[in-house]
Amino acid sequence: MSSGAGKSVVVFDYGFGNIRSAERAVARAGARVEITRDYDRAMAADGLLVPGVGAFASCMQGLREARGDWVVSRRLAGGRPVLGICVGMQILFSRGIEHGVEAEGMDEWPGTVGPLRAEVVPHMGWNTVRAPAGSQLFAGLPPEERYYFVHSYAAHDWELADTSPRMRPPQVTWSTHGEPFIAAVENGPLWATQFHPEKSGDAGAHLLSNWIETL
């Protein structure tokens, strides 16, 4: 793919996430990519990708220690695109609850990330999603396409009301494993996926290309 030619993406390295897989996937999608936690480079990039693997509280602590929460907030304040993946999506919500312990998130979106209620946990493997009409993230992808998930926790409710009628309302994509959960969000410059596009083959590469095209 070449749609991202000339676009720069920083994969933010705060100690959590499949950063090398993300780096390769973004490069495959056509962008120039580097892994760093340097503030200036993260702010200057056309797009910032925040991965995440592990526990909500640990990822949030690591992000704060690397000043990543500040980087994300400053980029969004300036309308600069950010993409969160897996726990990198979960920590964008107000809070997470794991094993009865509650931790504060970035509070970009209201809501709580909690355990999946399903017969088999973790939710590991390929699954379909239900993207809204007009989604830019899933543009050109068939509704029966499958994406790769690995998680035991998710956001189950969307609490953010539509804002100004002059702004495009948030678009929320859902999936189901035991019960419905949020699989992706497109909200102005802030996009996120619960699944791993970097592990989702050609579909994931196409999805990342869609994001890069908007940078």
Q: What is the pLDDT along the chain (215 residues), one digit of tens a residue?
A: 445 668 999 999 999 988 999 999 999 999 999 999 999 999 999 999 999 999 999 999 999 999 999 999 999 999 999 999 999 999 999 999 998 889 999 999 999 999 999 999 999 999 999 999 999 999 999 999 999 999 999 999 998 766 555 557 899 999 999 999 999 999 999 999 999 999 999 999 999 999 999 99
State the catalytic residue, choosing from 123, 151, 196, 206. Answer: 196
State the catalytic residue, choosing from 59, 86, 145, 186. Answer: 86
State the catalytic residue, choosing from 23, 108, 186, 198. Answer: 198
Annotated catalytic residue 145: no
CA angle 197, 92, 214 (to 5 degrees): 50
The pTM of the full predicted model, rounded to 2 decimals, is 0.94
Annotated catalytic residue 151: no
Give the pLDDT of residue 161.
65
Give the pLDDT of residue 194.
98
Task: Locate all alpha helices (DSSP H) within the chain, ordered by sequence.
Answer: 19-28, 39-44, 56-65, 68-77, 87-90, 201-213
- Determine the distance from the C-alpha atom of residue 42 to the mean position of all C-alpha atoms in its chain, rounded to a whole number: 16
- CATH number for the domain running over 8-213: 3.40.50.880
Give the pLDDT of residue 162.
60
Give the pLDDT of residue 1.
43
Annotated catalytic residue 86: yes
Give the pLDDT of residue 167.
59
